[in-house]
Amino acid sequence: MNFQQLRILQEAVRCNFNLTEVASALFTSQSGVSKHIKDLEDELGVELFVRRGKRFLGLTEPGKEVVDVVRRILLDTRNIRQIAEQFSNRDQGQLRVATTHTQARYALPSVVGRFKAAFPKVHLALHQANPSEIATLLLEGEADLGIATETLAHITKLAVFPFYQWRHAVIVPDSHPLSAKHPLTLEAIAEYPLITYQEGFTGRSQIDASFARAGLAPDIVISALDADVIKTYVELGLGIGIIAAMAYSPTRDSGLCLLDSEHLFPSNTTWIAIHKGHFLRNFTYQFIRLCNPKLPEPLVRDVSWLSGNAPPPAQAFNELFNDGAGI
């Protein structure tokens, strides 16, 4: 048994059992991949893959258990390298952060600025992706940290920590009739064409749920991935917008008016996620601390308390939001 065989097993699952893709990902030949798999099965005395002719269709029951162990072995192997780098190059290396456009554009600039000032020799790579893609990058070891509002808190292999809380807000062109409506109501909003986030992004589910609870079906004429696009079409008079409140700036968005709508939509939590069991370099932990200074180091480093089949209860994080934790 050798590490190349273990890598092939893990990669076969990731590539949906396409051995051509496995060979390409590991810079080897398909015949070499097949031989490694056969040698490993012969050594273990069990078949690891379900086959139809020469095609691999999935994992056998023994294969599923072996792959779980393989993932832990390869994860610990990466952790050993990370530990060595931690002590040989304490403040050098690479930090890969996967996040959404909204977080990269509005929440992270101040954090990134302070981080680069503290760790100038660390290469910081920001990968913009949707929440599901962020989770995949974390699980496959392609990102060290993930930051998003959706998805991350519901994946049991990820440990999540609160970044900050935020709310949606309504934006309209200057002098719009809704700017004189006090208090603003969902019923009043639903009378106009609506422009907001695409499903699965930036708390869109919370917006939909708020209207549904009120028995309303708003006319969403345009949906977009980020607030800048939403604001552009609101400025054109194509509808009123619902965006993350932090995305509005009185100076940049001088043609728009932000309406008091905090009472209409529930708060959202943006989460910081790591793959459970991953060793955290010192600068990775410091980046997390810059996001939320109230996160104690032992809580972040010891993620074993988050094991189980469900994310931790929300009340466990309540005190981390007191006094304006996060940004």
DSSP string, 162-193: EEEEE-EEEEEETT-GGGG-SS--HHHHTTS-
In the chain, what percentage of residues exceed pLDDT 70? 89
**pLDDT tens, residue by residue, 50-83:** 888 878 888 888 888 888 888 777 777 776 776 6
Q: Is the pLDDT confidence value at 317 over 60?
A: no
Nearest CA to 190 out of 168, 209, 214, 222 is that of 214
Cα(56)–Cα(254) distance, rounded to whole angstroms? 59
Concatenating the DSSP letter of every residue in 100-127 gives -HHIIIIISHHHHHHHHHH-TTEEEEEE
**pLDDT tens, residue by residue, 99-108:** 999 999 999 9
Nearest CA to 129 out of 233, 200, 195 is that of 200
pLDDT category of residue 237 using cuts at 50, 70 and 90: very high
Question: How do beta strands 122-128 and 93-99 pair?
Answer: parallel
The residue among 76 and 250 whose pLDDT is bigger is 250
pLDDT of residue 306: 47
- Report CA-CA distances (Å) from 237 to 41, 174, 192, 240: 65, 10, 11, 8
Q: What would the two tokens of residue 281 be?
A: 């370099």
311 DSSP assignment: P
Alpha helices in the chain (DSSP H): 3-14, 19-25, 30-44, 61-88, 101-102, 109-118, 131-139, 186-189, 204-213, 227-235, 282-291, 297-301
**pLDDT tens, residue by residue, 166-190:** 999 999 999 899 998 989 999 999 9
From the CA atom positions of the chain, what is the Rg in Å? 24
Q: Is the pLDDT confidence value at 316 over 80?
A: no
Cα-to-chain-centroid distance, residue 33? 32
pLDDT of residue 63: 85
First to last CA, the chain: 49
The DSSP bridge partners found for residue 147 are: 99, 272
pLDDT of residue 87: 62
Q: Is the pLDDT confidence value at 11 over 90?
A: no
The residue among 50 and 234 whose pLDDT is bigger is 234
The DSSP bridge partners found for residue 240 are: 194
Q: What would the two tokens of residue 18 be?
A: 């396409």
Q: Is the pLDDT confidence value at 224 over 50?
A: yes
Q: Is the pLDDT confidence value at 89 over 80?
A: no
pLDDT of residue 326: 39
Q: If you average pLDDT over residues 189-193, what whole number do you get?
A: 96
pLDDT of residue 9: 83
Q: What would the two tokens of residue 179 be?
A: 């700017």
pLDDT of residue 145: 95
Q: What would the two tokens of residue 106 be?
A: 């509005």
pLDDT of residue 310: 43
**pLDDT tens, residue by residue, 277-287:** 777 888 898 99
What the chain holds in terms of domains, given with CATH numbers, is: 3-84 (1.10.10.10), 90-165+270-321 (3.40.190.10), 170-259 (3.40.190.10)
Q: Is 43 exposed, middle or buried (0-12, 13-18, 19+ CB in 10 A)?
A: exposed
Rounded to the nearest 5°, which phi and psi values hold at 160? -120, 145
SS3 58: strand
SS3 191: coil
11 with 3: CB under 8 angstroms?
no
pLDDT of residue 290: 94
pLDDT of residue 327: 38
pLDDT category of residue 305 using cuts at 50, 70 and 90: very low
